[in-house]
Amino acid sequence: MSKSVKFTRRKRVTVIDGDGGAPFWLEHIGLFIVAGLAVVVGGMILLALTDWGRAAMVWGGLGFGVLMAVWLAIDPWRSLRTGEPLSVWVGEAIAALGWGGLTVSLAAGIPYVFWRGQERLPEWAFALPGAGAVVFTGIATLGMWLQTRQPLPALDRRPRVATVILNTDDADGGQCISVRYLGVDDREHDAELADLIDETWRGRFAAGTTWQVFAFRDPELADSVVFLTESHDDVWRNGYKLDRVRLGGEGGPLAPAPGSPFLRDGGKWTFAP
């Protein structure tokens, strides 16, 4: 019998036994992506053939970049009003500027230099969109770096029993071990393990097995990630993931080793008191 995965509105994961196949669009996702790219590229080529089309691309790219920056600027405004640390909302503001500027550089800058042409622009002007993209990417990276300088949200140090409900790979090939546990609000929650388990241990995290975990003190983060407690320090880890905690998603590889990369003394991460 096959297993399917259902993601609810609260980002909870439910494993469903059944023989139903994947949706049509998911089975043919590659074809849809190729077709969509062909339509977009074809439209850009058609627009690039005329002066008015190139002008439309310039103004459209400029408007899209400004809208993106304004939309991303909502986060720092919200963080400022809720009393987040200086580095968080300043980092969010800098990242918003960086991503908006990057979009303008590429989506408006490239059509502009080809619209004006070599007859009306010096040769060095054709390097400006690429240079702008590099600069604004650096600005966005700086903003993201500032956001990760603060401790992680406060941890509730009471061990909780979590049952594995899913052990698979996500769409990008990354590890996804989801567990169900009783949160600080006395309600059931589904979350992923922040610890990426080494392949030599991963088979032990089969569906139905139970493990002790720590959860965040804030119930709003109950469906994000949980952390294996020190009672499982014999388990080898080879990476980490902090999806939906900050930056939307944050993770990466670590040198394989036993013990928690989050809870060890002198580690990279700390938690707010």
98-102, 104-108, 171-175, 194-198: the lowest-pLDDT one: 171-175
Q: How far apart are CA 231 and CA 236, in angstroms?
A: 13
Q: What pLDDT score does 224 carry?
A: 92
Pair 58, 128 in one domain: yes
Q: Average pLDDT, stretch 84-110?
A: 85
Q: What is the mean pLDDT of the chain?
A: 82
Confidence at 32, pLDDT banded by 50, 70, 90: low
Q: Average pLDDT, stretch 27-51?
A: 64
Q: What pLDDT score does 249 carry?
A: 67
Pair 60, 141 in one domain: yes
Q: Looking at the predicted structure, is the pLDDT value of residue 162 above 90?
A: yes
Number of other residues whose CB lies within 10 A of the CB of residue 86: 11
Domain assignment present for residue 21? The answer is: no
Q: What pLDDT score does 198 carry?
A: 96
Pair 174, 250 in one domain: yes
Domain assignment present for residue 268? The answer is: no
Contact indicator for 156, 217 with CB cutoff of 8 Å: yes
Pair 241, 160 in one domain: yes
Pair 177, 249 in one domain: yes
Q: How far apart are CA 240 and CA 250, in angstroms?
A: 8
Q: How far apart are CA 156 and CA 138, in angstroms?
A: 36
Which has more confidence, 35 or 13?
35
Contact indicator for 228, 211 with CB cutoff of 8 Å: yes
Q: What pLDDT score does 166 carry?
A: 93
- pLDDT tens figures, 188-214: 999 999 999 999 999 999 999 999 999
Q: What pLDDT score does 124 carry?
A: 86
Q: How far apart are CA 97 and CA 92, in angstroms?
A: 9
Q: Where do we find the tokens 């400022």?
A: 80
Q: Return the CATH number at 230.
A: 2.40.50
Q: What pLDDT score does 97 carry?
A: 92
Pair 124, 176 in one domain: no
Confidence at 14, pLDDT banded by 50, 70, 90: very low
Instruction: Give the count of alpha carbons within 13 A of 243, CB side only.
Output: 18
- Of 147, 177, 205, which closes a domain? 147
- pLDDT tens figures, 145-161: 887 778 888 999 999 99
Pair 108, 200 in one domain: no
Enclosing domain of residue 234: 155-258
Contacts of 80 (CB under 8 A, 6+ apart): 89
Domain assignment present for residue 33? The answer is: no
Q: What pLDDT score does 135 carry?
A: 94
Q: Looking at the predicted structure, is the pLDDT value of residue 61 above 60?
A: yes
Pair 84, 124 in one domain: yes
- Of 89, 121, 147, which closes a domain? 147
Residue 192: which of 148, 249, 235, 154 has the closest Cα? Answer: 249
Contact indicator for 105, 129 with CB cutoff of 8 Å: yes
Domain assignment present for residue 235? The answer is: yes
Pair 103, 124 in one domain: yes
- pLDDT tens figures, 225-243: 999 999 999 999 999 999 8
Confidence at 182, pLDDT banded by 50, 70, 90: very high
Pair 202, 109 in one domain: no
Pair 167, 128 in one domain: no
- Of 127, 147, 167, which closes a domain? 147
Pair 132, 207 in one domain: no
Q: Looking at the predicted structure, is the pLDDT value of residue 57 above 90?
A: no
Number of domains in the chain: 2
Q: Average pLDDT, stretch 51-67?
A: 81
Domain assignment present for residue 45? The answer is: no
Contacts of 121 (CB under 8 A, 6+ apart): 113
Domain assignment present for residue 264? The answer is: no
Which has more confidence, 132 or 267?
132
Q: Supply the DSSP string of 236-256, one letter for each residue.
A: EEEEEE-TTTSSS--EEEEEE
